[in-house]
């Protein structure tokens, strides 16, 4: 099966600019996650979707971050305006439907964001 697709792989922007990341999960996976991984740390959940509904966005900095999954398939994560501390790898992951918090995650290759 095809894996989780993410683009772009790398992005360099200046602070206060905006940026968007795209993710296409594994076919048939209803649950989609966006994680932020700062260098040397474990992935931190930003938002979780079940189909096109938000399950958990409690750790998403909503003043600058937004995410959508309009048709319950692919998703975009946006940052506007970016800050220096947003420099990180943004990982998208998916898991089969109905699995809640017990299902293993399939990660994409991630987007490495550098904010200067």
Partner 1 sequence: GQQVMQIPQYQHVQEGEDFTTYCNSSTTLSNIQWYKQRPGGHPVFLIQLVKSGEVKKQKRLTFQFGEAKKNSSLHITATQTTDVGTYFCAGPPSGSRLTFGEGTQLTVNP
**Strand residue runs (E) in the chain:** 5-7, 10-13, 19-24, 31-37, 44-50, 53-56, 65-68, 75-79, 88-95, 106-107, 111-115
Question: Exactly one of 15, 16, 44, 83 binds partner 1 (CB under 8 A); which one?
Answer: 44
Neighbours of 85 (CB within 10 A): 10
Question: Exactly one of 2, 27, 39, 42 binds partner 1 (CB under 8 A); which one?
Answer: 42
Q: Does 45 bind partner 1 (CB under 8 A)?
A: yes
Question: Exactly one of 32, 60, 88, 91 binds partner 1 (CB under 8 A); which one?
Answer: 91
Q: Which is nearer to partner 1, 70 or 104 (CB)?
A: 104
Least distance to partner 1, CB of residue 116, Å: 21
Say if residue 81 is preceded by a cis peptide, omega within 30 of 0. Answer: yes
Binding site for partner 1 (CB under 8 A): 40-45, 48, 56, 58-59, 91, 101-102, 104-110
């Amino acid at each position: 099966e095809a894996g989780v697709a993410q683009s772009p792989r790398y992005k360099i922007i200046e602070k206060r600019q905006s940026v968007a990341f795209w993710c296409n999960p594994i076919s048939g996976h209803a649950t989609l996650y966006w994680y932020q991984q700062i260098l040397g740390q474990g992935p931190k959940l930003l938002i979780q979707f079940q189909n096109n509904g938000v399950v958990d966005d409690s750790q998403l900095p909503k003043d600058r971050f937004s995410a959508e999954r309009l048709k319950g398939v692919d998703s975009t994560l946006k940052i506007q305006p970016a800050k220096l501390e947003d420099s990180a790898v943004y990982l998208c992951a998916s898991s089969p439907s109905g699995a809640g918090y017990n299902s293993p995650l399939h990660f994409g290759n991630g987007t490495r964001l550098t904010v200067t």
